Amino acid sequence: MKILVINGPNLNMLGIREPAHYGRETYADLVKKIQNHCEEKGIGVTLYQSNHEGDLVDKIQEAYGTADGIVINPGAYTHTSIALLDAVKSVNIPTVEVHISKVEEREDFRQISYIRLACVKTITGHGTDGYLEAIDFLSEEYGHDGDLSAL
Ligand code: DQA
C-alpha cells in the first residue's frame, strides 16, 4: 500500500499559526508522526506540502499509477479550488480529506468544500491524529498485504 499525504497552503506554518485552531505541533513533527505510524504499519508513504495550487494539482496528477490512496488537507484551497476537485476526480485514487480544526464550527466561508465531492471520507477536528485515522482507513479499505514499498 502506497499513500501520498498532501498538505496545502500555510500548513508548513503548523506550530506557529493560530495554535488555538491548529495546536503546537510543527509541520516537521507531523511528518515524523506520519512516517513513524506508516513504518509501524508497513505502509509506504510520501509527504508533500505546497503553498501553490498548481503544484498541488501536479502532485495529484503524478500520483496516477503510483499511489493507492491520497490523504489531503488542502488548507484554504478546500473552500475555493475546483482545480483540486477535478485533479482528484481525474486520477480516480481513493482520497480522504483531512482538516485539523473543526471546520464545521468555524466561519461560513469554511463550510464549502469542493474537494469533498471527490473524497471517500472526510475527517475534521481530530487534530493531527486525523491524518493517521485517514491512513488507517485507506489501509483497511483499499490496502493489500505484503506490499511494503514506498512511492
Ligand atoms: C484547515 C482548515 C481550513 O479552513 C484552513 O484554511 C486551513 C487549515 C484545517 O486543517 O483545519 O488552512 O484545512
Domain at 39, CATH number: 3.40.50.9100
- pLDDT tens by residue, 56-88: 999 999 999 999 999 999 999 999 999 999 999
Choose the catalytic residue: 27, 77, 99, 114: 99
Structural domain contains residue 147 = no
Contact 43, 68 (CB under 8 A): no
pLDDT, residue 34, reads 98
pLDDT, residue 145, reads 54
22 a catalytic residue: yes
pLDDT, residue 45, reads 98
Structural domain contains residue 151 = no
The answer to whether the CB of 110 is under 6 A from ligand 1 is yes
Burial class (CB in 10 A: 0-12, 13-18, 19+), 72: buried
pLDDT band of 15, cuts 50, 70, 90: very high
| pTM to 2 decimal places | 0.94
pLDDT, residue 138, reads 98
Measured in Å, residue 9 CA sits from the centre of ligand 1 at 9
Contact 109, 80 (CB under 8 A): no
Taking each continuous run of H as one helix and of E as one strand, the counts in the chain are 5, 5
Measured in Å, residue 73 CA sits from the centre of ligand 1 at 7
Structural domain contains residue 149 = no
What is the amino acid identity at position 3? I
- pLDDT tens by residue, 19-54: 999 999 999 999 999 999 999 999 999 999 999 999
pLDDT, residue 149, reads 53
Name the grid cell of 56.
Answer: 498541488
Name the grid cell of 94.
Answer: 481513493
The answer to whether the CB of 13 is under 6 A from ligand 1 is no
Q: Which domain holds residue 122?
A: 2-142
- Reference 30, options 53, 8, 7, 63; nearest CA is 7
Find the angle CA(131)-CA(136)-CA(142) to the nearest 5 degrees.
120
Structural domain contains residue 150 = no
Query: What total number of domains does the chain contain?
Result: 1
